[in-house]
Amino acid sequence: MPRVVSLFFPAWPTDRLRRAMGQSAPSAESPIVMLGRQGNRRLVLAVDAAARAAGLRVGIPGSKAEVLVPNLQSFDLDAAGDAAALDRMALWSLRYAPIVAADPPDGLIIDTTGADHLHGGEEMMLEGLVSRMAASGIEARAAVADTWGAAHACARFLARPTFVAPVEGSSAIMLGLPIVALRLPHDIVHGLQTLGFERVGEVDAAPRASLSLRFGNELGRRLDQAMGRRSEPFEPVRSPDLIEVRRAFGEPIGAAETIARYAGKLVAALCEALETRGLGARRLDLLFHRVDNRIEAIRVGTAVPVRDVKRLTRLLTDRIETVDPGFGIELMTLTATLAEPFGAKQIISSLVEEQEPDITDLIDTLTNRIGEQSLYRFAPLESDVPERSIRRIAPTAPDDGTSWPGEWPRPPRLLTHPEPIETMALLPDHPPVWFSWRGIRRRVTRADGPERVFGEWWRRDAEVIAVRDYFQVEDEAGDRFWIYRAGDGKDPETGSHKWFLHGVFA
């Protein structure tokens, strides 16, 4: 089932202007509006959050806006610059899916069919999109639905700031939205409202012939596109700097074997182009242009720059089963949307030297099947707080030399959250005589400690005087545990003086 993401920028293009002015966030002291001419009138065509809070709206005369808000900053709307900025943002969004296009005047459209699992699912993908935009000073809302029209409407009327429409449930959601959600011209919307229509469902239930006679075919087309009854293809954005090869067919192809054969030929041609530039592919997008104007896509990634034809071909052909050729494919394009310098690597130089095993091929296979978020390894992080002393990194990330302290060993199994235990112990520096964990009482026969761990005062004020005293204890059965007391055993401000189990030794 196709899934489409619509990214909506409510304050566009004022957010772009603020970034150009060096302001990363809206300021309540300096509202901004963008002005433009419609006929002989100079109207407000865009407002930022501060201007909206001051009562300004799109469509009011510019002179009236300046009277209502004395400290208002007004600028001329740069339609060409805004369109170019949207195209640049679309190119940036290629990291999420192979098919991305601008949705003028204030959004992007992304076909994420089969790509959401690479980003942890649709909800995590939308949250990542919105948070990255917010970090750049751009207010954004995002929604995913079955069609472009439905996603466009949900992003503008339902996303706060994200919204995930159920699969095959977009049409039901559209029925309850206002008619302005159909991307219709203002005169058609005004005419429908004059006739008493308020919701999309009311328009969908009305006789189509009379509406088409009065408003033309645009109303029916937009309604069918939003409901999924008519396809709505769009041309993906592409940068001239990207390395791309394509193959057009005189007769449409559809057999999986034929698609795989031509995919291998495209990979060979792409690798030759990469070699001339000294690059290796990190991400490949293979697009299939069907005869019905729909585009299917395959995306694969690699852990390191790769220029091996067989390896890249295998990664692509493993995903061919996800492609629906429809009535046939008339054009295939292969693009290296991410390429990096292909560095030289020293091979073994003697008969006794063993070659280091290369597992990047296995990593690539697993990553393209289960997603980047599901494949990682742990690495040490410089922090005395145990739960903060590890981090997730990419499987092929280089070792930076950081390690855990060696004088106090850490348990190989660290609990996600410390679990409370019942104990009996002498304060302030003695380990427990016994402790009860998960309903089992254990008598302590050996213990080592305490190891005092202080809070990280630079994170929050509550950790300025926070203390933990850790003990390594062993019970009668020989099992060893890592437990701690919250507090120093004397001052109640340093902690609750309750005991917790934090890890288990092998």
Can you name the residues that pair with 434 across neighbouring β-strands? 424, 443
Query: Of 270, 429, 413, nearest to 338 (Cα)?
Result: 270
- pLDDT at 75 exceeding the cut of 70: yes
Query: Of 300, 378, 281, nearest to 339 (Cα)?
Result: 281
Cα 504 off chain centre by: 35
Mean local confidence (pLDDT), 345-349: 61
**Residues 455-464: pLDDT tens digits?**
888 888 778 7
Which pLDDT band, with edges at 50, 70 and 90, does 26 fall under? very low
Least confident window among 14-23, 100-109, 122-131, 266-275? 14-23
Query: Of 37, 29, 151, 138, nearest to 86 (Cα)?
Result: 138
**Residues 84-141: pLDDT tens digits?**
999 999 999 988 989 999 999 899 999 988 777 778 889 999 999 999 999 888 899 9
pTM of the shown model: 0.72
CB 463 within 8 A of CB 457: yes
**Residues 278-289: pLDDT tens digits?**
999 999 999 999
CB 294 within 8 A of CB 324: no
Query: Of 344, 254, 246, 363, nearest to 303 (Cα)?
Result: 363
- pLDDT at 27 exceeding the cut of 60: no
* Single-letter amino acid code for the residue at 311: R
**Joined tokens for residue 126:** 């939308």
Distances, alpha carbon 38 to alpha carbons 11, 35, 42, 190, in Å: 20, 10, 6, 18
More confident residue, 203 or 234: 203
Pairing mode, strands 279-290 and 432-437: unpaired
Can you say whether residue 376 is alpha, beta or left, with left for phi > 0 and alpha for psi between -120 and 50 degrees?
beta
Burial readout 491-500 (b: 16 or more C-beta within 10 A, e: otherwise): eeebbebebb
Report cis status (omega within 30 of 0) of the bond before 418.
no
Can you say whether residue 51 is alpha, beta or left, with left for phi > 0 and alpha for psi between -120 and 50 degrees?
alpha
Query: What is the gyration radius of the CA atoms in the chain, in angstroms?
Result: 30
How many angstroms separate the CA atoms of 106 and 83, rounded? 9
How many residues are there in the chain?
Answer: 506
Strand ranges of the sheet holding 279-290, from the earlier edge strand across to the other edge: 243-253, 329-341, 279-290, 295-306
**Joined tokens for residue 405:** 């302290």
Query: Of 357, 266, 359, 258, nearest to 304 (Cα)?
Result: 359
**Joined tokens for residue 333:** 């394009």
Residue owning tokens 């060893």: 480
- Angle in degrees, 0-180, between the axes of helices 217-227 and 148-157, rounded to the nearest 10: 90
Can you name the residues that pair with 178 across neighbouring β-strands? 199
